[in-house]
Amino acid sequence: MLEGNAACVPWPNWERNVKRSESQWERHVKNAEFRWERLVKTAESRWERRLKNVESQWERHVKNVESRWERHLKNAESQWERRVKNAESQWERHVKSAESLWERHVKNAESKWERLVKRAESHWEGHLKSRGCWAVCIE
């Protein structure tokens, strides 16, 4: 058996070994803290980038929806204008057609009336000639 201090010292240089292990532990803790801080910063920057990406995606989506809506409104307005123009031109064609139909109707009625008058005159002249009243009626 060992006596005195020799019994308490299991190996020589134990103090140096303890200090070395303490400094190793401190370095280990510092490295772990540094790695943790770097991990947190990386996670934060990733999160910020993702958030910015989502925000920009949302802004693009909103712009796309707005431009689609504007195009839809413009298309609807131009379609409405085309329909109004078509209706106006259709109405003009209808009016012109009705006017020409009326003019034909009037011309037909006038020519029919003229034919009737001529027929009546010729009938009356024939009637008077056959009766011998032609010379008397003329004078």
Tokens 């980038």 appear where?
Answer: 49
* Domain membership of residue 60 as a residue range: 15-108
Residue 10 resides in a domain: no
Please state, as a whole number, how many other Cβ atoms lie within 10 Å of the Cβ of residue 128.
15
Span 73-130, pLDDT tens digits: 999 999 999 999 999 999 999 999 999 999 999 999 999 999 999 999 998 888 777 7
Assigned domain for 1 exists: no
Q: Are 128 and 137 in contact (CB under 8 A)?
A: yes
The rounded distance, in Å, linking the Cα atoms of 29 and 31 is 5
Q: Is residue 124 part of a domain?
A: no
Q: Which of 68, 88, 69 is nearest to 80 (CA)?
A: 88
Task: Give the pLDDT confidence score for residue 135 in this predicted structure.
Answer: 54
d(CA 124, CA 139): 16
**pTM of the full structure:** 0.45
74 part of a folded domain:
yes
Is 79 inside any structural domain? yes
Q: How many domains does the chain have?
A: 1
Residue 13: pLDDT band (50, 70, 90) is: confident
